[in-house]
Amino acid sequence: MAPTMALAQRAGLGDLVAEHLTLKAQGGVNAHLKVPVLVAGMVAGADSIDDMDVLRHGGMDRLFTGVRAPSTLGTFLRTFTFGHVRQLDAVASRFLIALTKKPRSCPAPTKPAMSTSTTPSKPPTATPNRAPGTGIPRSRA
């Protein structure tokens, strides 16, 4: 999860949220911190607000600062209107563009992967009118 979130930070996810998402409701403060936490939760396997608690256990506090309680994140999500969802969609498209401009974290392969087999592979031979493994012609009923 650490490499994924580091990449999100380098691509400017928090900055894009701060620039394009305008939540004025009481629970909408610090969106630039809460959206990356929600992304991290999804990367960790959270599929509900209650599951976001996974980020508050173990060594996650060393990876994330300011992890919010699931109830706080739920309040944040309930402030979204349809227009805010559209703004977040704009953030997502710009974020995807920013990701494409970042250097690869793993180098691209320079040559095709080699087979570990030492014998050359043969294409399978078809015997369409024979019973499998017998060489006996199939009956045509």
**Segment 65-85, tens digit of pLDDT:** 667 788 889 999 999 999 999
Cα(67)–Cα(40) distance, rounded to whole angstroms?
Answer: 10
Q: Which residue has the higher pLDDT, 80 or 54?
A: 80
Q: What is the pLDDT of residue 111?
A: 62
CB 14 within 8 A of CB 33: yes
Percent of the chain with pLDDT over 70: 65
Side chain identity, residue 72: T
Hunting for tokens 């592979």 — which residue is that?
121
For residue 139 the two structure tokens come to: 């009956």
Side chain identity, residue 127: T
Question: Which are the contacts of 132, defined by CB distance < 8 A and separation ≥ 6?
Answer: none
pTM recorded for the entire structure: 0.68
Q: What is the pLDDT of residue 17?
A: 96
